Structure 1
């Protein structure tokens, strides 16, 4: 490995960062000539990760701040997940065409074991901003490129979420590129943190009246487990929530046996020394000018004004007590069962808006939730053309 470096770099000693990376990729068996990489993800899978993955809140900031720079400088801005898979790419069209020839496309893996030393893959390994220029790339075909990458971290939990990168032909290298991507990554993390703080503040406004009526220990959690408010004890700053939590009895780390009830945008968690909960009654009120969800839980009631798409989803689930798969729900909404990526994104947004009243696999109202639909005297959801609404209108036509 050192012999190859010396031959191509006139005896110059590599930076420690690059030397360590070359050793890793050589040990992984990466072909310097650029052997076949991993299969590219499908467009549908890339879209799913973009829309509903953990980087979704950061993408608008990254795109707005870096894509104009990339276009002006003849470069690309690229965002990847923790596996190095390219999730989004923007910038100068002519450079994107050159990147296509390298397989540097959405869905491709750009980690070290797949494509050798590069800013994205090496940044994922070391967890700090990395610049790789020209001949520092391990694969020969990449040595006409320059790239600068910075890690993207969860500003609440601190975990690594992915990488943002500026790449382009070696002649476009700029000494400020690494500082720029690092600053924009920090800005994106700050924006997400601010949005999370707003979610907690909204939860606190909802939680205040509810917690005032709770006897014993209870706390209100955001969907990611962050504590918004507590009563009866200080409560942990964060609770690890199990996947597929649907409400009802649960055992939560650090809390033990609890009863979990949905709130708009979070959970009410009552510990064992609180009064046992009961059923949650949901009224999907479609009788007024705007669709409204009215929820009556054992500890109190709340309402949420719905957008048309969310009202259509809830109507579809109310009329299918056994639940609907993503394909069936896509057919209900769009008359196209292949639009599952859109459906998953819409349901994800709905669950964030109204709390975990909904369960998944299949999509349905959670256990312990009873649902009624209040229909209008006139036309049901007048602005809708969703098949589920058209069927409901046909089943109960408006009287002449």
Structure 2
């Protein structure tokens, strides 16, 4: 989206006002009074050069999340919240009533930026911890709030724009938390406030409905939280193409990062230490171990506790589409492997180990198709890898003269060469 001249002027004016505040001069009147008042409060407890939010104890965050009606709301609203994050390359966050983040979903670019500043489950975004921000301001004022660019007190998020709306218990009026949308200032969209307001209303209704149902004696349990946990239930992971996790046949509402945690643990049935999991998931990215612990805690809660510590290990049977594809390759069934290959493993992942494993799986299927060419298998492969002319050429050469598949292979090959 093109950055308007007005947006640049606004950012410059706010930055000038921040400089005036630090110099103890009146400065320009470009800043709302509620922001100025928040700056003054923030200066007493927060260093302006703060680069990452403090993190709460992951076990405590897990306990709060599992007992919060917001978890049910996110389970209901998860696909819509996640689609909003991906479509707008935003971070969508849900907090408790103290502005502590309980759940997030993010587009690829904003996910990396959010994790680097502690804008992740467990991050404490109250004013006393990180200074002026929209999450705290929405809870403080009880209204939809926007904090734009340099209106943030902490330098780490001066380039962000955040829109937050409070969520209440519709029966009692008690604040449950906020729904927040965040992006960079140069990508801010004028529909941001309206979008977060609508999402907050939907989350509020879903949460309140869950509490009413609970009062009637029919609690809506989160997936995996039934008495006795999830031990013994089958965890099914679809990682090739569109990622998805199912426990006992029911789809788990996980963020992309949490699905990546599950994928890595499935690849390491022997378990992984915290440093090993951190390196495999984030590589050299500046993400704290506390952020990772919070993500693992959410995964553990979704699995009903079937995830051990020291090392982290899945304590339930697991089946993945990756195993099915590699088993078919090992048995020389190239057609079956091509049929089961749904696309690149978690395409777009930034996990160094998952990227490496994605290349391994793709190469394994491809080499099987080249070693034992079959027209049907090549045509199936072309649906997910239409650029791979070599597989089509080998299959076309091996196809019997007059076989109907030759025409299809030739057409696919011509399209691949365009």
For normalisation by structure 2, the TM-score amounts to 0.46
Higher relative contact order (CA 8 A, sep 6+): 2
More helix by share: 2
For normalisation by structure 1, the TM-score amounts to 0.48
More strand by share: 1
